[in-house]
Amino acid sequence: MTHIDAGAELDPVHPVPLPSPPTTGLSAAQVAERIARGQVNDVPVRSSRSLGEIVRANVFTRFNAIIGVLWLIMLFVAPFQDSLFGYVIIANTGIGIIQEWRAKQTLDSLALIGEARPTVRRQGTAVEIGTSEIVLDDLIEIGPGDKVVVDGVCAEADGLEIDESLLTGEADPVVKRPGDEVMSGSFVVAGGGAFKATKVGREAYAAQLAEEASRFTLVHSELRSGISTILKYVTWMMVPTAIGLIISQLVVKQHGFKDSVARTAGGIVPMVPEGLVLLTSVAFAIGVIRLGRKQCLVQELPAIEGLARVDTVCLDKTGTLTEGGMDVTELRTLDGHDEAYVRKVLGALGESDPRPNASLQAVIDAYPDAEEWRCTESLPFSSTRKYSGASFSEGDGESSTWLLGAPDVLLTDGDPALAETVRLNEEGLRVLLLARAERDLDGPDVAKGARPAALVVLEQRLRPDAADTLRYFAEQDVHAKVISGDNAVSVGAVAGKLGLTGTTLDARRLPTGKEDMARALDEGTVFGRVTPQQKRDMVGALQHRGHTVAMTGDGVNDVLALKDADIGVAMGSGSEATRAVAQIVLLNNSFATLPSVVAEGRRVIGNITRVATLFLVKTVYSVLLAVLVVCWRVEYPFLPRHLTLLSTLTIGVPAFFLALAPNKERARPHFVRRVMRYSIPGGVVAGVATFAMYLIARHHYTGTGALDAETSAATLTLFLISMWVLVIIARPYTWWRIALVASMGAAFLLVLVVPWLQHFFALKLVGMEMPWGAVGIAAVAAVTLELLWKWVDRRFPA
């Protein structure tokens, strides 16, 4: 609250100096001088990794180093066919780089659209500029919802209240007066004003905050950490196994040094699930690109994953279920007040606030300013107190103080106007009370004893896509909770119009304990009169109950809850502060985009979980085969070309298509456990069956070419078992999944029947007994897999 009369030097009654006229800001010459000195807020704000970082992240990996060394060795000691795995890795890495580069370009363009543009006063004119164009000593104007982007000192204050909770943890807004310090990273919750920039660039705290808020980060996610855990285990298994295999194969030199080296490499290469990391990056990148086309800015990659795991979404009514604008539909005067006079009061109240919210804007649109009235004091709207106010000197010399806000806050229980308000709220209408205050605006109980003058009835515009979006969440078993600062009955009526059923509660009557509040939240659906701190507490209570919570909002009162939620979703037209703390920004302000984000997250997570089994089955059977080879002291059954062929047909190509397929299943936790419970039994069955076939073939075939015949029989066995793993993973079947599996089988058959392909891949089935024996062993393994995985489902449910 502040005096805003700039027309007099001193008040004749209370000789206290009033604020001096606003400063004009820097001149063009002063701005140029500071730019020349480098006193510019030129901190690079990136929305993604640089091209160099993308290349390094995709190329310089532990497993690429291992495979690269083996590839170089194979180029010198083995035919070209046995070096194919190296070219496959190069192609895969290239695909990963290209896809992430495309995702970077998408994010960069979207971040530019959603970039904050502070209002700076220069040469007496207010202009919007980019954050990086602010110079030292710039005069920056701020209002409700604006984020303080650099450190400074308050120069003007009009009821300015700033929330510094993101910096200090203190929830209560801080009233700022000229001369007070303003910290970057805080945001305005009420009033307006201006501050002079005292620290810009890397000196300001906002340098780190702003960059971190809009960076394309690979922050913690269960999927990525799970894959890292798996790769750590693989490394532990691979190193000793590979050493044993190398020693074993070099000792068993019956077929020459080069052939032994080739088979050693053939045993090591398939242990590396290199494609799993690549496929995860590609799936995330494609998800970002797809969402970018729908004007959805994903500020952190794992946000896609996080939203896929959400089981509860908290929706702010205003700006999410309803459009920002409102219309005044009726004015009902109370206690005999003259309607023409009330219209003047409303017009003056509208003019007194330089940054009106949606409700006051509707009043401004409906009632013209009373030009003869002069505002002497104002109290900006605050979502905590639920009302605003102003004092006026009327044209005839009279003075008066008025409040405009929530009827159930300004009126005492039992007031007749409350009954009328409830009836209107039940129709889904929003009602404001105009009341004449008997106390000064700067008093602690200004609303006490206020006399009602009129009810202002507002109609909210429902978003046309809100009902379909809520229906989607219900179908996907995601619980929607509407939490709003508006009257509970009104919010409940709006939710009812959109088809959302459930109990409506007034948040002022909610228990304060986390466990008790969580139970109330589970039982209720719509909550009204929720304060900003309560929104934060409600998110925390739901999380305490084990829910994964997404929070949507566009107003400054949503910032704290957005920050604490598992996933924060902000509207592009919302306040700068909400966009800064949210992981996802809907630049088109369309609530209907949320199902696309959820679907994209579920597609990515569900499919990566699915195809990870393919990669890890290969890792398990490769390690097991190497161990068995070392124990039996025999040649490794495969050359690198055989495993390149198998990996391409049973893992690489199918995994790429399966990873991009639609998947509506909600992501579940415990990624590592869920993947390994299938991969370990699948890999063990495949490894044991293949090695058994190899030993049988070694006993059956003798003489020249025996090793090639043994390898071919083992390759056929492993291919058929791997294909059955693919058959299981591809369920439920669709026409394209059946076609995918069939085409992989046809490709392998082609290799077996075309002579030059037989020669190229060193595959030739000899006789009838061993090939049919391979089919028989593979069939037994397939039945074993089916029974084993069904048992795993019962014994170790996901």
CA–CA–CA angle 374, 368, 451 (5° rounding): 65
pLDDT of residue 301: 64
CA 163, CA 176: separation in Å to the nearest integer? 10
CA 221, CA 228: separation in Å to the nearest integer? 11
CA distances from residue 738 to 663, 735, 742, 743 in whole angstroms, order as listed: 17, 5, 6, 8
Phi then psi dihedrals of residue 532, to 5 deg: -55, -40
pLDDT of residue 219: 41
CA distances from residue 421 to 433, 488, 624 in whole angstroms, order as listed: 9, 12, 74
Pairing type for strands 584-586 and 567-571 reads parallel
SS3 490: helix
pLDDT of residue 250: 73
User: Which of these, 22, 361, 306, 316, lies nearest to 192 by C-alpha position?
Assistant: 22
174 backbone φψ class: left, alpha, beta (φ>0; ψ -120 to 50)? beta
DSSP-assigned beta bridge partners for residue 314: 481, 551
User: Which of these, 106, 295, 190, lies nearest to 577 by C-alpha position?
Assistant: 190
Could you give the count of Cα atoms lying within 13 Å of 464 in the half-sphere of its Cβ?
0
pLDDT of residue 171: 58
**Under 8 Å between Cβ of 625 and 269:** no
pLDDT of residue 723: 96
pLDDT of residue 710: 92
Phi then psi dihedrals of residue 43, to 5 deg: -65, 125
DSSP classification of residue 649: I
pLDDT of residue 190: 81
CA 542, CA 514: separation in Å to the nearest integer? 9
pLDDT of residue 121: 92
- CA pseudo-torsion sign 538, 544, 550, 555: positive
| The two three-digit tokens of residue 390, written as one number | 């102003």
pLDDT of residue 256: 66
pLDDT of residue 100: 78
Radius of gyration of the chain (CA): 34
pLDDT of residue 112: 63
pLDDT tens track for 230-267: 878 887 887 888 888 888 877 765 556 777 787 788 88
pLDDT tens track for 29-86: 999 999 998 888 876 555 556 788 888 888 887 778 878 888 888 888 878 888 888 8
The sheet with strand 503-506 has its strands ordered as 296-298, 584-586, 567-571, 549-553, 312-315, 479-483, 524-528, 503-506
Pairing type for strands 181-182 and 174-175 reads unpaired
User: Which of these, 673, 539, 587, 568, lies nearest to 306 by C-alpha position?
Assistant: 568
Amino acid letter at 612? A
Among candidate residues 158, 316, 353, 566, the one labeled active-site is 316
pLDDT tens track for 311-331: 899 988 777 788 767 888 889
CA–CA–CA angle 327, 333, 335 (5° rounding): 155
Q: Tell me the domains of the chain and their CATH numbers.
A: 2-38+116-213 (2.70.150.10), 221-289+598-795 (1.20.1110.10), 294-321+463-595 (3.40.50.1000), 322-462 (3.40.1110.10)
Q: Which residues of the chain have pLDDT under 50?
A: 1-21, 209-219
How many Cβ atoms from other residues are within 10 Å of residue 317's Cβ? 25
| The two three-digit tokens of residue 272, written as one number | 């590396």
Our answer to whether residue 506 is catalytic in this structure is: no
pLDDT of residue 210: 44
**Under 8 Å between Cβ of 747 and 649:** yes
SS3 688: helix
pLDDT of residue 749: 95
The sheet with strand 430-436 has its strands ordered as 2-3, 374-379, 387-393, 399-405, 430-436, 451-462, 322-333
User: Which of these, 522, 513, 549, 542, lies nearest to 505 by C-alpha position?
Assistant: 522
CA distances from residue 368 to 339, 345, 351, 391 in whole angstroms, order as listed: 14, 10, 9, 18
